[in-house]
Amino acid sequence: MSPIRIMLADDHALVRQGTRRILEEHRDLIVVGEAENGEEALELVKRLNPDVAILDIRMPGLSGVGVVSGIKQSSLQTKILILSAFDDDEYILALMEAGVSGYLLKTAQGNELVEAVRGIAKGKNILHPDIAMKVARLWAHRRTISGQEVSGQLSPREMEALQLAAKCLSAKAIAVNLNISVRTVNGHFYSIFNKLGVSSRIEAVLYALSRHLVAPEGVE
């Protein structure tokens, strides 16, 4: 039986080296490429067509979310495992809906990573327990607002603010980008919350991401 071919993408060399060492202790796993940024990761997946790509979320240039989007748009068969220190709500649903097969936190043990790669290669979906709980909560919340229609509700300026929030910009940074005051930014989000029936920026971003109204960080 051929070994499972894996591509690693993380901007920290020590993380890549440690992950490679853990994986290649097993004869059925082989690392065929490493990338230190999102653009390189996407290029390697397209060129090497690995069975599994292990991606961090936050990398220089194109983010992990952007890499996932690029892989799916290219109709590649590579399964995707997110391995990250971050479990931010605004990323989780976007990544799951984009089609990742697994999501582990970097607190996972080596044997958990190995078994996740094997399971994903066989077509299973693997989630860290903390991520699984978040997914369940976020999906439950999304169902409570799924009947609302957003088209035409938000003003162009509100849509611009929401798009910048989806790229993880602070209120101050959004104000700079839009050449308005922080007070005006907060006013836009107060209006957005009322129109969408949510109570926080994270909920507003999740709502918009789940309906493809805005693009997550790293996706143009």
Query: Same structural domain for residues 62 and 162?
Result: no
In a domain, 81, yes or no: yes
Distance CA 2, CA 96 (A): 28
pLDDT for residue 198: 72
In a domain, 150, yes or no: no
Phi, psi (rounded to 5 degrees) for 210: -65, -20
Q: What tokens appear for 131 in the block?
A: 């991520």
Number of domains present in the structure of the chain: 2
- Listed residue (175, 177, 165, 176) closest to 202, CA to CA: 165
pLDDT for residue 147: 42
Query: Same structural domain for residues 134 and 65?
Result: yes
pTM of the model: 0.62
Q: Using alpha carbons only, give the angle 24, 30, 31 rounded to the nearest 5 degrees.
A: 95
Query: Same structural domain for residues 199 and 114?
Result: no
Query: Same structural domain for residues 35 and 137?
Result: yes
pLDDT for residue 220: 43
Domain boundary among 142, 167, 189: 142
Q: Is residue 50 helix, strand or coil?
A: coil
In a domain, 148, yes or no: no
Q: Are 209 and 138 in contact (CB under 8 A)?
A: no
In a domain, 34, yes or no: yes
Domain boundary among 117, 142, 167: 142
Q: Are 100 and 68 in contact (CB under 8 A)?
A: yes
Domain boundary among 89, 110, 142: 142
In a domain, 219, yes or no: no
Q: What is the CATH number of the domain that holds 166?
A: 1.10.10.10
Query: Same structural domain for residues 65 and 130?
Result: yes
**219 CB neighbour count, 10 Å cutoff:** 20
103's CB contacts (< 8 A; 6+ apart) are 81, 82, 84, 92, 95, 96, 126, 127, 128, 131
In a domain, 97, yes or no: yes
Q: What is the CATH number of the domain that holds 95?
A: 3.40.50.2300
pLDDT tens for the 220 residues of the chain, in order: 799 999 999 999 999 999 999 999 999 999 999 999 999 999 999 999 999 999 998 888 887 888 888 888 887 889 999 998 866 666 676 677 677 888 888 888 999 999 999 989 988 878 776 776 666 566 555 554 444 455 457 888 998 998 888 776 778 889 999 999 999 999 999 998 888 777 677 667 767 766 667 765 444 4
In a domain, 33, yes or no: yes
Q: Using alpha carbons only, give the angle 128, 54, 211 rounded to the nearest 5 degrees.
A: 70
Domain that residue 104 falls in: 4-142
Query: Same structural domain for residues 127 and 171?
Result: no
Query: Same structural domain for residues 111 and 184?
Result: no
pLDDT for residue 177: 93
Q: Is residue 44 helix, strand or coil?
A: helix
Query: How, if at all, do strands 52-55 and 126-127 pair?
Result: unpaired
pLDDT for residue 132: 67
Helix (H) or strand (E) holding 143: helix 129-145
Query: How, if at all, do strands 79-84 and 126-127 pair?
Result: unpaired
Query: Same structural domain for residues 74 and 20?
Result: yes
The per-residue b/e assignment along 142-166, b for 16 or more CB within 10 angstroms, e otherwise, is eeeeeeeebeeebeeebbbbbbbbb
pLDDT for residue 123: 81
Query: Same structural domain for residues 200 and 110?
Result: no
Query: Same structural domain for residues 138 and 166?
Result: no
66's CB contacts (< 8 A; 6+ apart) are 38, 42, 216, 217, 218, 219
Query: Same structural domain for residues 133 and 90?
Result: yes
Query: Same structural domain for residues 188 and 96?
Result: no
In a domain, 147, yes or no: no
